[in-house]
Amino acid sequence: MALREMIKQQCEAWRSLGHTDLLGEFMLRNADRERQGQRLPKPFKKQRDKLCFCNAGGLLLKNKDSPYTYYEGYAARASIMFPIHHAWLVVDDRVIDTTWRDPDETCLYFGKPFSYIEVATRVSCTKYWGLLDTGMGYDADYMITLDPGFSKVIGKKRSA
């Protein structure tokens, strides 16, 4: 099953319970196309487990003039059959995932691209590597800043 379809079903399940899957709904509106993973190409090296936001964001910020684009969204792989919040880089339309062990073609990625400036500014302001999650939960206000129409989806106005 395609990752986008899994996220759509997850959002529908939460809606049926009277709740909103904040990240899922945001990604369905704002993510670009789904991408397939690949083995980690040279010169990239495996980085620390469970630190995808720091790994991808740090690599981007250390290479300001690189062709890297930071993505945050969902990823899944054959051994983890549900979407998880994740971050990675894209270079020349190819996924670069330095966090997962042995990323390959069975890995799927679906997320929103963020520029160097967006990553640098957000990390500087929040002191946290995840752009959409400040470490205290998903940041609806930031999501609404990125997509003003999102407030209607979640029934929330942006905080002052």
Q: What are the pLDDT digits (tens) for 51-64?
A: 999 999 999 999 99
Number of domains the chain contains: 1
The answer to the question of residue 126 being in a domain is no
The answer to the question of residue 87 being in a domain is yes
For 26-78, the pLDDT digits (tens) are 999 999 999 999 999 999 999 999 999 999 999 999 999 999 999 999 999 98
131 secondary structure, DSSP code:
S
CA distances (Å), 157 to each of 65, 122, 132, 146, in order? 36, 20, 17, 13
* Domain limits for position 98: 3-116
Half-sphere exposure of residue 99: CA atoms within 13 angstroms, side-chain side: 21
The answer to the question of residue 12 being in a domain is yes
The answer to the question of residue 125 being in a domain is no
First to last CA, the chain: 40
The answer to the question of residue 18 being in a domain is yes
Instruction: Look up residue 89 and give its amino acid.
Output: L
The answer to the question of residue 110 being in a domain is yes
What sign has the CA pseudo-torsion 19, 24, 27, 33? negative
pTM score above 0.75: yes
Nearest to 11 by CA among 116, 83, 79: 83
The answer to the question of residue 51 being in a domain is yes
The answer to the question of residue 143 being in a domain is no
